[in-house]
Amino acid sequence: MRTLIVDAQGKLSVEEIEKPTYGECQALVKMLSCGVCNGTDTKLIHKQFKNFDTYPAILGHEGVGRVVEIGQKVKNLDVGDIVLLPFLEEKINGYASGWGAYSEFAVVGDADAYTANGMGEGTPFWNESYLAQSIIKPTDKVDAVGAAMIVTFREVLSSIKRFGFEANESALIIGAGPVGLCFTKFAKLLGLKTVITADVVDEKVQAALEMGADYAFNSTQCDLVEEVRKLFPDGIDYVVDAVGINTLINQAMEMVRYNGKICCYGISTKPYMEIDWTKAPYNWTLQFVQWPSKKEEGEAHAQIMAWINQGVLKPMDFISDVFDFEHILDAFSLVEERCKTTKKIVIKYE
């Protein structure tokens, strides 16, 4: 099969490798699509992803595929099922797994089958990702390309729940890329009274308004702190760093309310900084969600699919470009070159 490889110098190439093998509690999946993650994928390419240093590696973690073969002890999967989060768990032909979903085939595990056969949580056979893998039902109103967006949807929604967003409160979302737009949309769907989104690109500011932001600002064209304080003199309930830039934490100190929360999503390229709380209220919380819980991500699936099937959440609204797998290198060139990329790029395989 063909797969996307990144070497230790950050060079991308499409290589031929062996198809993955699968165990008795697993299924072989033919890939249909995979979303490009502007955060994780880019950081892996540039060797900036926390605690990952195994190269060359096979990239991709926002995959969707069709089950084509199943192991003898599989309980919940059938040939033909459309599933989320197929991965390559093992090294293949000397290439390490950077999750590996930019491949023509990958593998999913059946969590119930593992548990029923004494290979559940706490055993060497278990992988936490099994808790997040889900089936897209034939009645679900989403195609394979749109389904790639569901991975990001679930990660963001589970993080919002971990951050503790409450209806009728206020939030400032800093960053209006794919993740920031999800935070904006979901905050409104969950009943937050006021949502403000900020970015440095006019196109992204406009996209935030289209996603339901009550206010959106280009922070290069205004004093964001001043604008937020005009609306909320006592500060805002939640300030969300949706891009992973450490300096935003100190900026947030000037906008968070007393007993409010600064919420940091994702892994920053620099795992350290000096925090200055001289302009913050006396009491506040700083919370990081660097790695969404796979269990919580799986539990968010039903809510996401309900929103999609009700028509209030449309995956294609968050996708800007779709590339055939044959042109995957062009897709990554676009990520590197076009700083104004506001939405998700998706790779499709058929």
pLDDT at 283 > cutoff 70: yes
Smallest CA-to-CA distance from 155 within 125, 182, 115 is with 182
Q: What is the arithmetic mean of pLDDT over 306-316? A: 98
Are 209 and 158 part of one and the same domain? Answer: yes
Q: What residues contact 269, with CB distance under 8 A and at least 6 apart?
A: 43, 46, 48, 244
Which residue, chain included where needed, has tokens 């998706």? 346
d(CA 187, CA 15): 41
Q: What would the DSSP string read from start to end of 330-344?
A: HHHHHHHH-TT--SE
In-domain check, residue 61: yes
Are 124 and 28 part of one and the same domain? Answer: yes
pLDDT at 158 > cutoff 90: yes
Collapsing DSSP states into helix, strand and coil, what is residue 217? strand
pLDDT at 94 > cutoff 80: yes
Contact 173, 208 (CB under 8 A): yes
Are 318 and 259 part of one and the same domain? Answer: no
pLDDT at 19 > cutoff 70: yes
Are 114 and 241 part of one and the same domain? Answer: no
**Total number of domains in the chain:** 2
Q: Could you give the C-alpha distances from 329 to 4, 276, 347, in angstroms and in order? A: 9, 41, 10
- Provide the pLDDT for residue 270: 81
d(CA 23, CA 223): 56
Domain that holds residue 177: 153-289
- Provide the pLDDT for residue 221: 97
CATH of the domain at 68: 3.90.180.10
Cβ neighbour number for residue 101 with a 10 Å cutoff: 29
Our measurement of the distance from residue 104's CA atom to the centroid of its chain's CA atoms, rounded to an integer in Å, reads 21
Strand partners, 179: none
Are 56 and 128 part of one and the same domain? Answer: yes
Are 97 and 205 part of one and the same domain? Answer: no
Task: Give me the half-sphere count of Cα atoms (radius 13 Å) on the Cβ side of residue 278.
Answer: 2
- pLDDT above 90 coverage of the chain, percent: 86
d(CA 36, CA 150): 12
- Provide the pLDDT for residue 339: 58
pLDDT band at 341 (very low <50, low <70, confident <90, very high): low
- Provide the pLDDT for residue 342: 67
Which residue, chain included where needed, has tokens 């085939």? 105
d(CA 308, CA 154): 12
pLDDT at 38 > cutoff 90: no
- Provide the pLDDT for residue 338: 60
Tens of pLDDT along 206-215? 999 999 999 9
Q: What is the arithmetic mean of pLDDT over 219-224? A: 97
- How many secondary structure helices (H) and strands (E) does the chain include? 10, 17
Contact 109, 25 (CB under 8 A): yes
Smallest CA-to-CA distance from 304 within 93, 191, 147, 192 is with 147
Q: What is the arithmetic mean of pLDDT over 63-72? A: 98
